[in-house]
């Protein structure tokens, strides 16, 4: 950011409203492009967009469990709770 720039309260909000033209979602990478054009940080653009009610993240796609196929919310393990519990236990066979 340039050190000569004078910040005016609400300036970014007004600029963003004009650039978005009533849209309710920012596409991937669009906030970064706007930040570069307007000489603001990406985080500040995200904050103001969120205040305006603009979605800055695409909605999460529903996933299905890799163990049983049941629909579920996103998890790193990609297993539902019951499949995760099943996979946590190991069956051992006694040699005697």
**pLDDT confidence of residue 1:** 47
**pLDDT confidence of residue 6:** 59
**pLDDT confidence of residue 36:** 92
* Phi, psi for residue 91 in degrees, rounded to 5: -90, 125
Determine if the pTM surpasses 0.85.
no
pLDDT at 93 over 80: yes
CA 5 to chain centre: 30
**pLDDT tens-digit profile of 9-62?**
778 888 888 888 888 888 888 889 999 998 889 899 889 988 888 887 766 677
Q: By three-state DSSP, how is residue 27 classified?
A: coil
């Amino acid at each position: 950011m340039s050190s000569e720039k004078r910040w005016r309260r609400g300036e970014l909000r007004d600029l963003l409203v004009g650039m978005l033209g009533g849209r309710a979602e920012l596409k991937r990478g669009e906030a970064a492009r706007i930040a570069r054009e307007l000489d603001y940080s990406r985080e500040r653009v995200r904050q103001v967009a969120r205040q305006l009610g603009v979605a800055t993240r695409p909605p999460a796609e529903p996933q299905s469990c890799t163990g049983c196929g049941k629909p579920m919310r996103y998890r790193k393990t990609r297993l539902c709770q019951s499949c995760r519990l099943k996979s946590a236990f190991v069956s051992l066979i006694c040699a005697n």
